[in-house]
Structure 1
Amino acid sequence: MPEFTLRKTAIFIEDIHHDGGPAPEQPRRRGAIAALVKNPFAGGYTDDLQSAMEDLKPLGLMMTDRLIEAMGGMAGIDGYGKAAMAGERGELEHTALWHVPGGYAMRARLGEAKAIVPSAMKQGGPGTRIDVPLGHINAAYVRSHFDAMEVGLADGPRADELLFILAMARGRRIHDRMGGLSLAEVIGEDGLR
């Protein structure tokens, strides 16, 4: 069983009060939680990585719970996304370890979330930032919720670390007006519409 020793977590909350034009009735909230963990696969090649996703599920659940708390509770959370970054001794495939644990955790806690959890992966060192894509939790075609939140940590990921990120949003983009599937039209059966 690989060891993903947790070095630190950080939480980011943004309340967007204005973005030109008329002020919105309510600010839009975006939040992210980042965790730096030791990469047990750094510096070598391991053929079987998939089994390690199970070991990361508790981390995903802990991060999800902390982010929901920081967001002020589950009510109204209607957007989510995830990202991962490998340090220089890791490989891009190591970031794919986050697909199941990150997505599973948010779906488990947010209830009827049906849409695929948007994801981004890359390699980088300390201070490298990544755009975490956001989409609607029940219908991927809801254009008003297409967004991204830039996240990074000054001291990671180190060469032998992985940076795992979960992000959530409450509400659509301020002044969205690009059409597409509206919230009122969401059926929520297949995760697309």
Structure 2
Amino acid sequence: MSIVVRKIVRHREETLRENGQDVPRTHVVAWVAAVIENPYGTDGYVEDLVSKADAMGQEVGALLGPATVELLGEEVEGFGKVALVGIGGEVEHGSAIIHNLKFGNEFRSAAGGTELLPGAEKVGLMGATIDAAVKHKLDAKTRSHHQTIPLSIPDAPRPDEIVIACVATSAGRPLARLATFGAEVGGADKANEGVAR
């Protein structure tokens, strides 16, 4: 099956300062989105979504995954994915494409990742914003890389379209300084030593 693409949108940004501070490493974010025709149509309920999902997922993943890594221009540390379905479709249409190993494997391979890709999907009007959840590509528990990246395209999705995007980051949050998971327990106990209870 071949996807019908109306447009490809590329976005890249670099954060150099945050809250009056220079960031230790330039924080680069990149996403590449494809605005595609909804392969499941807008004529009502379709029972079988699976038969198209593998081919669609692989094709879209192969289109977007390597392009996102190339656009980032840095080693990928964090990644995520989104599907924004036009109002003529349903959220399950987007989920069928992005929550699919064929899609995920294309992006993981390009990014050098091993973790499952965090995803977000919803139905929205043209120009709606969707927040892409991002986590570390090798360890989803790395708290510094937990962040959300907003994504929107002014003229998409039309009712019969889906916006599919891959998102990549070159680092954790610009001024990430929270302790690793579990550190608070030991830290709190140490801070409270000698305190009457």
TM over 0.5: yes
Alignment of 1:5-154 (within 5 A): 5-41=4-40, 42-56=42-56, 57-72=58-73, 75-96=74-95, 97-100=97-100, 101-111=102-112, 113-154=113-154
- Greater radius of gyration (CA): 2
Q: Give the CA deviation at 1:109.
A: 1.5
Percent identity for Structure 1 against Structure 2? 28
Determine which structure has the larger helix proportion and give its number.
2
- Give deviations 1:81-100, integer Å, cap 9, x for gaps: 00101111101100112222
Q: Is the deviation greater in 169-178 or in 48-57? A: 48-57
Distance in 2 between the 1:55 and 1:94 partners? 14
CA distance in 2, matches of 1:177, 1:108: 29
- Return 5+ residue gaps in structure 1 as ranges: 183-193
Q: Is the 8 A contact 2:25 2:174 kept in 1?
A: no
3-state SS of 2:94 partner? helix
**Contact 1:64–1:166 under 8 Å retained in 2:** yes
Root-mean-square deviation (CA), in Å? 1.7
Question: TM-score under structure 1 normalisation?
Answer: 0.86
Instruction: Report the AA paired with residue 63 of structure 1.
Output: L
CA distance in 2, matches of 1:124, 1:68: 27
Contact 1:132/1:167, CA 8 A, preserved across alignment: yes
SS at match of 1:25: strand
> Is the CA contact 2:3–2:60 (under 8 Å) kept in the aligned structure 1?
no
User: With structure 2 as the length reference, what TM-score do the two structures score?
Assistant: 0.85
Q: Distance in 1 between matches of 2:70 and 2:116?
A: 22
Measure, in 2, the Cα distance between the counterparts of 1:36 and 1:177.
36
Q: Does the residue aligned with 1:139 lie in a helix, a strand or coil?
A: coil
Q: 1:29 Cα deviation (Å)?
A: 0.4
Instruction: Give the C-alpha shift of residue 53 in structure 1.
Output: 1.9
For structure 2, list consecutive stretches of 5 or more residues without a partner in the other structure.
183-197
User: Contact between 2:130 and 2:152, CA under 8 Å: does it hold in 1?
Assistant: yes
Question: 2:117 and 2:14 mapped to 1: Cα distance?
Answer: 22
Runs (4+) of structure 1 moved beyond 6 Å? none
Report SS of the residue matched to 1:103. Answer: helix
Q: Give the deviation of 1:181 after TM superposition.
A: 4.7
Question: How far, CA to CA, are the matches of 2:162 and 2:109 in structure 1?
Answer: 23
Q: In the alignment, what sits opposite 2:186? A: none
